[in-house]
Amino acid sequence: MFAFAIFGIAPLGVFFAGWSSNNKYTLLGGIRSAAQLTAYEIPLLLSILGVCIMAGSFNFLEIVHFQHSSGTWLFFLMPLGGVLFLVSMIAEVERIPFDMPEAEAELVEGWWTEYGGMRFGLLFAAEYMRVYAASILFAHFFLGGWHAPFAGLIGSIPLVGDLWLAIPGIGWTLLKAWLIFTVVFVWARTALPRIRTDQILEFGWRMLLPLAVLQVALSLIYRLYFFDPSAMVDITDTAGGWAWDLTVLDVTIPWGYPILTTIFWTGVFIVMMKDENIEENEARMYHIRTMTPAGTHTAGTE
């Protein structure tokens, strides 16, 4: 939890960095950034609470070992928690589409405006360090950390299995973290438009927070009623355990709960990702474009 305590004090550093510049524009940027970080800190911590409930521990090592010993990565048991973690982390590190506190094209770097030279370089490097830290944390919490994927299945193949298992744990951790960085942070930067500050805050408080509470409740249900502790194995067992198998009418389905959970939430995500009908739903948080062509709208006539 020390890592998230560090993330928790980030709004203070950002605010004072803007305030100490003695510039009203950087101060406004610092206030906007602090408000955004605060709004997404709570869903982030609640999604991690769900992980800790599933693993039964706050310790990084035990969370990673639990995923291997139970036989399933937590991402397939709590896809909603994984998405909440990623979205909150993107907002925490202020990357597109949540980069309005900086928005270099509009706000001249926001709270960074008065920082130049090496000071700017250190701030920029610190921001990317937080991005990589978020990717590594996701790999630990949801993707099994340093354990190889399908170690029991691929590891049993002659020659190929030996090469697969010979890859060191640090290699798997970095590969998973780079995958998250490429697929999530880079893809989001190129594909998603920047959204307004009020949309950012509404999305965090009105949507992510209730979903994060729901994920905590689901984690409690999974841990208490679906988890089979007798099927756990020792961490030295390469194949992993079978703690999340589903038994129906004396028929055991391997990885039954993860498969059903992943299918269900994938369907929910597909339905929810469909573009809203703006003419029927005028809620501000859904709008990413205007109803009238550019240059034809007159302000104050809504």
Q: What is the pLDDT of residues 162-183, one digit of tens each?
A: 788 888 888 889 999 998 888 8
pLDDT above 70 covers a percentage of the chain that reads 85
18-22, 63-67, 153-157: which has the highest mean pLDDT?
63-67
Q: Looking at the domain assignment, is residue 294 inside a domain?
A: no
Inside any domain, residue 288: no
Q: Is residue 282 part of a domain?
A: no
- Number of domains comprising the chain: 1
Is position 292 within any domain?
no
In this model, does residue 87 exceed pLDDT 50?
yes
- Of the candidates 223, 212, 255, the one whose C-alpha atom is nearest the C-alpha of residue 71 is 255
More confident residue, 50 or 20: 50
In angstroms, the CA 45 to CA 137 distance is 13
Q: Give mean pLDDT, residues 261-279.
A: 77
Q: pTM of the predicted model, to two decimals?
A: 0.82
pLDDT band at 20 (very low <50, low <70, confident <90, very high): confident
Within a domain: 99: yes
299 belongs to a structural domain: no
d(CA 57, CA 81): 17
**Whole-number pLDDT of residue 286:** 46
Q: 49 with 129: CB under 8 angstroms?
A: no
Q: What is the pLDDT of residues 239-263, one digit of tens each?
A: 777 888 888 877 778 888 889 999 9
**Dihedral of CA 201/202/204/205: which sign?**
positive
Q: Does residue 31 lie in a domain region?
A: yes
For residue 108, the model assigns a pLDDT of 59
Q: At what angle do helices 24-55 and 10-19 cross, to 10 degrees?
A: 180
196 contacts 26 by C-beta, under 8 angstroms: no
Domain that holds residue 240: 2-277
Higher local confidence (pLDDT), 86 or 189? 86
Collapsing DSSP to helix, strand or coil, 146 comes out as coil
- How far apart, in whole angstroms, are the C-alpha atoms of residue 292 and residue 170? 52
**Which two three-digit tokens encode residue 73?**
């990565």
Residue 298: band (very low, low, confident or very high) from pLDDT cuts 50, 70, 90: low
pLDDT surpassing 90 at residue 11: no
Tokens in use for 87?
């979205």
